[in-house]
Every structure is written in C-alpha cells, then in structure tokens.
C-alpha cells in the first residue's frame, strides 16, 4: 500500500488555509477513480509533526497518490512533499497505527530511513490525535 503527503495551497478567496493532506491507501484499486485513500488534513508539514490534532476528510480517489497541479472547482492546487509505502498495523474506528516508509528522495531530513510509526486516536467527530511513536 502507498501513501502521499500533499501540500494543498488554497486560493486567496478561500476561507480555509493552506494545509497538508495525508493520504493513506487502505485497499487495492482498479481505477484511479476508486476511493481507496483515507485522508487527513494537517496544519503542519511532515518535518514538524510530533503530536497534533488533525481532521479526517472523506475518502479520496487513488489518482491523488500521484496527482500534482490545480484542483477543479477553484479549490487550489496540490504539490507532493512526501511519498512512499504505508504498512498497516491496525486500522479501526478508534485507533489506527501504521508505519510510513518514505521514498529516500522525497523525505524530510529528520524522517527515519527505516520508517516512522504513527498512531492516530479518535478524539471526537472528525478530529483525530496524531502521535509519532519510536521509529519502526
């Protein structure tokens, strides 16, 4: 399974602010239009993740694992900042744990080459708490 972190730059007319989308593939797909990506919105780039409150967004289409550029409907544009492999350890409605193993050419300097263990704990409604654990 794969993952991507996208910097989502919004138009100046948007009430929302620029953020980072963490996309986690949870199923195989046959078409790039298949919705097989968990998506979380983060206020900080990966180099600044430690523990923070994040928002879960609706599942996204597989095409966003590779997409770079403008988003239709004047919703801004996205740029990849990190890609690689996700290894799931658990995934349920309250606690999710996984390793992100970033492509060596596309990872922040502090990101462990062997991968970073991440735990997501459901807080309320669409809010989750992200916590970096010891590197995998």
The conformation of residue 15, written as its DSSP 8-state character, comes to S
- d(CA 122, CA 92) in angstroms, rounded, equals 10
Q: What percent of the chain has pLDDT over 90?
A: 82
pLDDT higher at 32 or 73 = 32
List pLDDT tens digits, range 87-122: 999 999 999 999 999 999 888 888 888 899 999 999
Neighbours of 69 (CB within 10 A): 7
pLDDT higher at 50 or 106 = 50
- pLDDT value of residue 61: 96
- d(CA 110, CA 100) in angstroms, rounded, equals 13
């Amino acid at each position: 399974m794969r993952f991507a972190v996208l910097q989502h730059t919004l138009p100046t007319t948007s009430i929302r602010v620029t953020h980072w989308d963490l996309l986690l593939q949870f199923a195989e797909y046959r078409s790039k239009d298949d919705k097989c990506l968990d998506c979380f919105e983060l206020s900080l780039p990966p180099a600044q993740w430690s523990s923070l409150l994040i928002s879960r967004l609706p599942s996204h289409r597989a095409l966003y694992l590779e997409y770079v550029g403008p988003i239709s409907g004047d919703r801004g544009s996205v740029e990849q900042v990190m890609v690689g492999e996700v290894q799931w350890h658990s995934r349920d409605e309250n606690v999710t744990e996984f390793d992100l193993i970033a492509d060596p050419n596309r990872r922040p300097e502090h990101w462990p080459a062997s991968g970073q263990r991440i735990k997501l704990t459901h807080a309320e409604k669409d809010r989750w708490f992200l916590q970096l654990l010891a590197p995998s």
